[in-house]
Amino acid sequence: MTSASETWVALSALQHLLFCERQAALIHVEQLWREDVRTATGRLLHERVDLPGHDARPGRRVERAVRLGCERLRLVGRADLVEYHPDATSPTGWRPYPVEVKRAKRKSLEADSVQLCAQALCLEEMHGVAVPEGALFHVAQHRRQVVMLDARLRARTEEAVARMHELLARGHVPVVARAPKCESCSLEPLCMPHVTAGQRRASDHLRRMVELVDPETVS
Amino acid sequence: MTTALNTLFITVEGTRLNKEGERVVVTVKDEKKAEVPLRHLRSVVCLTRAWMTPELLESCVEAGIHVSFFGVTGRFLARVEGLPGGNVLLRREQYRAADDGGRTLAIARAMVVGKVSNARQFVLHAKRDAAAEQVPSLEDAARRLAEHLRAVGRAEELEQVRGLEGIAARDYFEAFPGLLKGGARRFGFDGRNRRPPRDPLNALLSFGYALLAQDCAGALAGVGLDPAVGFLHEDRPGRLSLALDLMEELRAPVVDRLVFSLVNRGQLKPEDFKEEAAGAVMLRDEARKAFLVAYQAAKQVEVQHVFLGQQTSWGLVPHLQALLLARTLRGELDGYPPFAVR
């Protein structure tokens, strides 16, 4: 068991958590498919995101693969892309604007919004500036969707962070019943939801192997 | 994980392996022999002396590709891998279970049930197209294996399980001469021997088991288990006891089946082996290559996983069993379900 004060939640874990608690725990507690996650991260860092028109406005700065952290929530990770907009109402004269780039077809708006919001919470702490808004960029549809980071979304995000802390601190992998979404989960072969949450009992399997054997049956 | 089962075997002395982009380039005497994308690789097995650039080794370790080295006689030398994968909590649970007599007994018993059951199935399958005069000895072996299987199922002591495993193995190997057909009868077989193997069939079995042990070790490490801490096999420095445990249920259906199909079909002949002065027998280079090709091909063959109720390939079975063992240790399953051949 780890002391709760030592655990840090990866920004990417929140999306996994909202998709499926077991998936999040398999990746972040069991560290299954570590290499695949890392490979994916590497690809992310090397791939330049081409956002139409994002450099068009004067004074707008774009940073990629920005390392983020939030001490208060013990949250750490990277943002694909953070824009810094000029903003006269900000004490610093500019305002961070996280943009989460979605390559795959959208699975869950809530999961994407929570991940974006978590980035915003990090940016607020790191820059000391309020971040009221961000955007999701859907590569497939070539569309940018503005997300208001309101109180409800912030509460949902903090709740997800707390739950992830709990799983990490307990080293716990919850058993989850098989669901339709399992079809789209790349961890399904390792998770084996039909085995762990299903009715398959190893003791029955063993009993069949032993007791149904008739020494006289030799054909 | 279904697409990444490939193993790159290096059999030609003096082969050079280096990295170009995201590919492994195989060069022999300045001639490019092959290019393999890194992401398609699961492991690299060097069966002879080979060069590998530090850059490639780093990429392999980073990507979780295991690199193992064997001596020219097929003896396992070393294995390179990065930080252990998976969860330290799972490994601790593995150690706790290994220190707990009750849990060790249950897992070891299940593994021996798998081993004896699959050995019996192998004998029964082989009996179907055996020569008439061989049938009685094979039937007799199947009968004895069934009795041992029942006894294992009732065993309440670990030593009893280990003892039955030994007796079952002896009875099983006694049936081997009856499995040889036609020209393969020239092989002869007088029981299992190793260290070193002293006849061609034993040389093939040892080589096959060494390969399977590496596959099992890789599968266990892949799910975050410690391949060295076993249940049926006691801990011994330098021994991958859990890999040997996991291998038990797969020896007959994977290695023995392959060995007999190669010799019975005449793909390997007694001339493919050489005997050393003191009587140790080893495969000639061409035979080793033929065996490796056949071993890799056998991994692609589809098989029914009875417990999971799904089709899979032989190559994936060690990985699935390693996962099921991890589930067992984590308490998500009520016991370890060995792989069962129908």
pLDDT of res. B267 = 86
Contact residues on chain A for B327, CB-CB shorter than 8 A:
192, 195-196
Contact across the interface for B338 and A38, Cβ inside 8 Å: no
Alpha carbons within 13 angstroms on the beta-carbon side of residue B113 total 30
Answer yes or no: do B139 and A34 touch at CB < 8 A.
no
Q: What DSSP assignment string belongs to B102-115?
A: HHHHHHHHHHHHHH
d(CA B263, CA B185): 9
Count CB atoms within 10 A of the CB of residue B266: 11
pLDDT tens string, chain B, 342 residues long: the values are: 233 346 787 878 889 999 998 889 999 988 888 888 887 787 787 877 888 999 999 888 888 787 888 776 666 677 787 766 667 888 999 999 999 999 999 999 999 999 999 999 999 998 888 777 888 888 889 999 999 999 998 999 999 999 999 999 999 998 888 888 877 777 777 777 777 777 888 889 988 998 899 889 888 887 788 999 999 998 887 789 999 999 999 999 999 999 999 998 888 878 787 777 666 778 888 888 888 888 888 888 899 988 888 888 888 888 889 889 988 998 888 899 999 998
- The upper half-sphere exposure of residue A6, i.e. CA atoms within 13 Å in the direction of its Cβ, equals 6
Distance CA B253, CA B255 (A): 6
Sort out which chain B residues have CB atoms less than 8 A from A206's CB and list them.
Answer: 110, 113, 153, 335, 337-338
Q: What is the DSSP letter of B17?
A: E
Which one, of B19, B10, B16, lies nearest residue B38 by Cα? B19
Residues in A 170-199 with any Cβ partner in B closer than 8 A = 171, 173, 175, 189-190, 192, 194-196
Does residue B214 contact residue B293 with C-beta atoms inside 8 Å?
Answer: no
* B332 in contact with chain A, both atoms CB, cutoff 8 A: yes
Helices (H), chain B: 54-62, 88-99, 101-128, 135-154, 158-174, 200-222, 241-250, 257-264, 285-300, 317-329
Q: What is the per-residue burial (b if ≥16 Cβ within 10 Å, else e) of A27-54? A: bbbbbbbbbbbebeeeebeeeebebeeb
Q: Which of A45, A11, A16 is nearest to A30 (CA)?
A: A16
Phi, psi of B54 (to 5 degrees): -55, -30
Rounded distance between C-alpha atoms, residue B296 and residue B8, angstroms: 10
Q: Residues of B with CB below 8 A from A195's CB?
A: 307-308, 324, 327, 333
Token look-up 């903090």 returns A158
Residues 200-229 of B with CB under 8 A from A: 223-224
Tokens (6 digits) for A60: 């707008």
By the 10 Å C-beta count (0-12 exposed, 13-18 middle, 19+ buried), B220 is classed as buried
- E-state strands within chain A: 9-10, 61-70, 75-86, 94-102, 133-138, 143-148
Angle at CA B83, nearest 5°, toward B82 and B84? 110
CB pair distance less than 8 Å for A35 and B63: yes
Residue-level length of chain B: 342
Q: Which pLDDT does position A133 carry in this prediction?
A: 95
The structure tokens listed for A35 are 């290499």
- The Cα B247–Cα B231 span in angstroms is 12
The two beta strands, B6-10 and B41-46, are parallel
User: What's at A178, amino acid-wise?
Assistant: R
Are B113 and A210 inside 8 Å of each other by CB? Answer: yes
Q: Which residues of A touch B224 (CB under 8 A)?
A: 30-32
Place of tokens 């069934």: B146
Residue of B3, B66, B81, B89 best to disrupt the A interface, most CBs of A under 10 A: B89
Question: Chain centroid to CA B112: how far?
Answer: 15
Instruction: With H, G, I as helix, E, B as strand and everything else as coil, classify residue B133.
Output: helix
In sequence order, the 6+-apart residues with CB closer than 8 A to the CB of B293 are: none
Model pLDDT, residue A35: 44
Q: Which of B124, B139, B150 sits opposite A210 (nearest CB)?
A: B150
- Does the beta-carbon distance from B324 to A39 stay under 8 Å? no
| Residue among B237, B232, B229, B236 nearest B248 (CA) | B232
Task: Give the torsion through C-alpha atoms of A209, A215, A217, A219, to 10 deg.
Answer: 90
Alpha-carbon torsion (B41, B45, B50, B51), positive or negative: positive
Amino acid A182: pLDDT = 86
| Best of B5, B109, B113 to mutate (most A CBs within 10 Å, chain A) | B113
Pairwise CA distance, residues B269 & A150, whole Å? 76
Which residues are paired to A10 by β-bridges?
A: A76
pLDDT of chain A, 219 residues: tens digit per residue:
445 557 889 999 999 999 999 999 988 888 776 444 444 444 444 445 544 444 556 778 888 888 999 999 999 999 989 999 999 898 888 999 999 988 776 667 889 999 999 999 999 999 999 999 999 998 888 889 999 999 999 999 999 999 999 998 888 788 888 888 888 887 887 788 877 766 668 888 888 888 877 776 665
Instruction: Please tell me the predicted confidence (pLDDT) of residue A33.
Output: 60
Task: State the burial class of residue B164 (Cβ atoms within 10 Å of its Cβ: 0-12, 13-18, 19+).
Answer: buried
From edge to edge, which strands make up the β-sheet containing B6-10? B6-10, B41-46, B66-70, B76-80
Do B20 and B34 meet the contact criterion of CB atoms below 8 Å apart?
no
